[in-house]
Structure 1
Amino acid sequence: MTSTRTPKTEMAYAIKAMQIRSRAARDLGYFSHFSMPPMTIVDHLIGRKPTIAKNTWKQYKNALRSHFQGLANESNESVAVEELQAAIAALDSEPSTGSLKYGTRTSATKQKHFKQTDLDKFVDYLAGNVGRHKFANALRTWLLAAQLTGLRPSEWESAGLTEIAGLPCLTLRNGKATNGRANGEFRTLDLSKATAADMEVLLEMFAMLEGHLSEMRFDELQTSLTHYMKRATRACFGRRKKYPTLYSLRHQFAADAKLAGHTKEEVAAILGHATDETAGRHYSRAVSGQSAVRVQPVDSEVRRVRAKARPYPYGPRRSRTFAL
């Protein structure tokens, strides 16, 4: 079966697999992780499962499986291939049962929602540090644009303003468009309900991107803002269990869209999801919603969403979409 993973994912899996092997070698006293039998590595990882969060466990399994499969494909030794295939089978048969519901490290400190009071406080903090912190204004601009549109951080690289059928629109390439996870390769957001202030936010965002991208690549800018936000949120909010990230406003946007009365299909289309189930399973609930959503999906993209979930039990109204 041909892999549809992106080169970036393949690289991430390869790095993670090497880390898993190195950890096993260190814990078990092997001089080199290359001398370890595949099943020994798998057994060690399974032994660590009670200390690993469920989602992290899945990532580790996928990374190690991908690594072993690559080695098996490249090997001409039947015994080595059999050992690798046995290790893959052991990974495939091992469920996530027994792993932690939530982790205790990185992802466990990430806050999914971003309440308006917190956002206002943080934006004020950033505004007060413009001129003192290199990325303060860039991050402030990014967050306000993310609040308005719900874009994934990576999607801003391809985003642009245009006009379709006389209506202002934001067009972009969908993130996670591999393996049928996105609602098509591109999506369009109708901005006809956006205010003049909203449009100013978007224009400022694109001007900021243009300025910084003349000095660095987009991924470098995103990484810099991610690191700066991690430091800045802790300086702004002090000690707390969870802190907002660049992605938090996408989760907040999803909750706002649900509360505003958008159907599951409309929420999926706005977010670029292939099915109407994703936002319900992985994003903030409507009860976390707090503000109006002024971007709308286009009708053709709403129709393209695959139905899997039950309708939302709340939402006072149906929102309008325009045909495309």
Structure 2
Amino acid sequence: MTTNEQNDGKPRVTLRPAIKINPVEEVAEAPVFPVPEQSKRSSRPPSMPSKSALAQMVNARDTFSAEVEEKHGKQYQPAEKDDFSITNDTSAQYQRRAKLLLKRYRKEKTIVVIDSVDIDSFENVDVVDFVIWLLSLKPMLKAASWRQYRRSVYHALTGLPTEGAEAALSMLDNDVASAEGRSGTDIDDDDRRTSGNKAKFFRLAEKDVLLEHLRFAVVRRNDPALLRDWLVAGIAVGLRPLEWRATSVETFVDAETGKTRIWLFVMNAKTTNMRGNGLMRTIDISDMSDEHIFAISRMSELGREWSVKGTYKEHQKANENQLRVVCKKIFPRHVRTYCLYSCRHQFIANMKSIYSPEEVAALAGQSVTETAIENYGRKTSSWPLEAIGTPPAPLPSEVKLVRNSLSYYQDRAAALGNDKQ
């Protein structure tokens, strides 16, 4: 409505045509869980990632293994590569050592063999449990001795028509000291000299400041949103920086509850976490916040994409450099600076305040018989529960396998202690 004056000075009121308002359309309710594009819904828990994602993950692992072998030499090769060109004498030595280990396993497990023919045979043995027992010996052995044990058992199990043999071989395949080394890090040699200056935690208040800065930062070369996703996802699920190159997010509908579940499959970078197939660990991220799930999904997609294109290391280095520059700008007085690996330290510190050591080990892709899990972030560095939010969950089957390994290790350590007394 407008007001104008007529020639006689009196105001005149004119009406504008009414604006036609369309009825409000009903908006569909948003899904409870954000479903990643690469994920497929299934009616049962997936045992492995989708075929396309798995192919990319295997390619990423093989490419990385080739780089490690070229850089560090033959000692980092998987067990399967030790078995190609051995002599008859070496084969006989492997068989003898494997039989001695089998005899020791049966003695510790108090397994009675009635038929003398089965004494030296693996055919009636739970080979997966045997390999779990074997892996529990690792912390007490020198590296050279462990490699001989592993090669001997691998040689003995190869081609064995026993249930679980393939799973047992996969567990041994994955037991490779990769470029991460025994310290559990995957930093470059140039950065290793300054690793003492890297923070093994992420202060909550400073994390919030850093993420807020990246939300509005303008950078020419590297998108700050990528680094922001890396930090959010890294603290949420604790992957090693190199592990993002081979992950997949899969969804399925739980047949019992009817709820959508979301699992993150991670191809282990270093050691087996005692899962049946030995190559993967699985993290249940279904109940986490949308912010965490979206960041994890984007990092999973980008990591595989960078790996396929052969640019993963470039992107990792670029984000690492950007994080260092930003931290130097907003935290100029810090002696220890944050790095991408600080996210893993903080994740483990947070999980220590929620889960048992076996559950933390399953989530982190470590065996609790290793000291690596103890060298990560301390429980005293954990955030308040309300700041952590709903945490990811380990699969009970994986926790069980880690717990079995721990049980073997503790029994053996106790026996050794009694012998010394």
Provide TM-score, normalisation by structure 2: 0.46
Q: Report deviation, 1:108.
A: 1.4
Partner of 1:266: 359
* Contact persistence 1:194–1:295 (CA under 8 A): yes
Q: Return the letter of the residue paired with 1:134.
A: N
Q: Report deviation, 1:13.
A: 4.0
Provide the secondary structure at the position in 1 that maps to 2:251.
Answer: strand
Distance 1:223 1:181, change over 3 A: farther
Instruction: Indicate whether 1:149 and 2:243 are aligned.
Output: no
Aligned mates of 2:410, 2:205 — CA distance in 1: 32
Provide the secondary structure at the position in 2 that maps to 1:244.
Answer: coil
Distance 1:205 1:10, change over 3 A: closer
Q: Report deviation, 1:213.
A: 6.5
**5+ residue gaps, structure 1:** 15-61, 63-102, 311-324
Q: Which entry has the higher C-alpha Rg, 1 or 2?
A: 2
Aligned mates of 1:309, 1:289 — CA distance in 2: 27
After superposition, residues 97-108 of structure 1 pair within 5 angstroms as: 105-108=193-196
Q: Return the letter of the residue paired with 2:399.
A: V
Aligned mates of 2:351, 2:267 — CA distance in 1: 21
RMSD: 3.1
Aligned mates of 2:68, 2:297 — CA distance in 1: 32
Distance 1:268 1:108, change over 3 A: same
* Contact persistence 1:253–1:293 (CA under 8 A): no
Q: How many residues align?
A: 216
Q: 2:392 aligns with which of 290, 295, 310?
A: 295
Q: Deviations over 1:202-248 (max 9, x none)?
A: 23434555776687621221122122222222122113210110010
Distance 1:7 1:203, change over 3 A: closer
Identity of paired residues, percent?
A: 28
Provide the secondary structure at the position in 1 that maps to 2:214.
Answer: helix
Q: 1:251 aligns with which of 339, 345, 359?
A: 345
Give the number of the structure with larger relative contact order, counting CA–CA contacts within 8 Å between residues 6 or more apart: 2
* Contact persistence 1:268–1:279 (CA under 8 A): no
Q: 1:172 aligns with which of 246, 260, 266?
A: 266
Q: Report deviation, 1:252.
A: 0.4
* Contact persistence 2:287–2:390 (CA under 8 A): no
Q: Report deviation, 1:121.
A: 1.3
Instruction: Indicate whether 1:285 and 2:378 are aligned.
Output: yes
* Contact persistence 2:350–2:382 (CA under 8 A): yes
Partner of 2:200: 112
Aligned mates of 1:175, 1:267 — CA distance in 2: 17
Deviating more after overlay: 262-271 vs 188-197:
188-197
Q: Return the letter of the residue paired with 1:152.
A: R
Aligned mates of 1:236, 1:144 — CA distance in 2: 18
After superposition, residues 168-207 of structure 1 pair within 5 angstroms as: 168-177=262-271, 184-206=278-300
Provide the secondary structure at the position in 2 that maps to 1:239.
Answer: coil
Provide the secondary structure at the position in 2 that maps to 1:160.
Answer: strand
**5+ residue gaps, structure 2:** 1-63, 74-142, 144-190, 255-260, 412-421
Partner of 1:240: 334
